[in-house]
Amino acid sequence: MANNGLKLSFFFLFIISYEYWVNHVNIVDTNSADLVKDVFILAGQSNMAGRGGVIDGYWDGVIPPEIRTRPGKILRLGGDLSWEDAAEPLHSDIDANKTCGVGPGMAFANAILRGDPRRFAVVGLVPCAIGGSGIEEWSRGGRLYDGLMRRAGVAVEGGGGKIRAVLWFQGERDTVNRSDAESYKEKLQRLFMDLRADLNSPLLPVIQVALASGEGAYVEMVREAQHGIELPNVITVDAKGLELQPDGLHLSTRAQLRVGEMLAHAILQSNCSL
């Protein structure tokens, strides 16, 4: 009788251990070609690359719970073109000449997984943003454009991923000179059209962030251009009024979380075909 009781105890221990293993142990091979990812490209300049928590060139290292790492669920294409579990700072080896902190990417990924876990199983983030870059530097054939295309190609090779959208946050640099601000709309529309053509996705969703700040006097002119984009499946979320760092240019960690959530809301509520 005692022996039967011991066997029953071991049986229940096995069940409990198995349940824990299934729910807590990460068994995903993040480099497996069989792992199909919902891929989102993160492009633009410093506020996309992430300066949340960066003051006087140093990142405070604070990572709020809303942007926690989720092993096997949120992946990042690193600078070496291999997939790994994503964690802030997402752009540390991409925007490598600057100090990177918190950006909108992890908040975005966590929010879409919370918002629609059946629709999005594994999120693959492809960081491409470079601090201080102007819209002209992102034109087709340029270094930044070609770098984005190369990384996007790796992200989907072998059927391992599908690009669902481009997340774009840029324009602060183009607020300095009036000529740049005046030509911004035309150049931005051309960029979006070129990306769609070269990624073989004519209606690829583009979610852009309207500026919260700028480096020069023409912030409102660039913002007007951003809000005036006349292309289908381009959605604009507005960062104006969100908290800035002491430098008056970059978004705070709290504001970056909000931008990520707004980007996610735009995707979740969109009628765009993903």
What residues are annotated to the active site? Answer: 46, 247, 250
Residue 148 CA to residue 170 CA, distance in Å, equals 15
Count of beta carbons in the 10 Å neighbourhood of residue 182: 14
Residue 55 CA to residue 195 CA, distance in Å, equals 34
User: Coil, strand, or helix at residue 44?
Assistant: strand
Residue 223 CA to residue 210 CA, distance in Å, equals 6
Buried b / exposed e along 74-95 (16+ C-beta atoms within 10 A): bbbbbeeeebeebbbbbbbebb
Neighbouring C-alpha atoms within 13 Å toward the C-beta of 90 = 35
User: Coil, strand, or helix at residue 6?
Assistant: helix
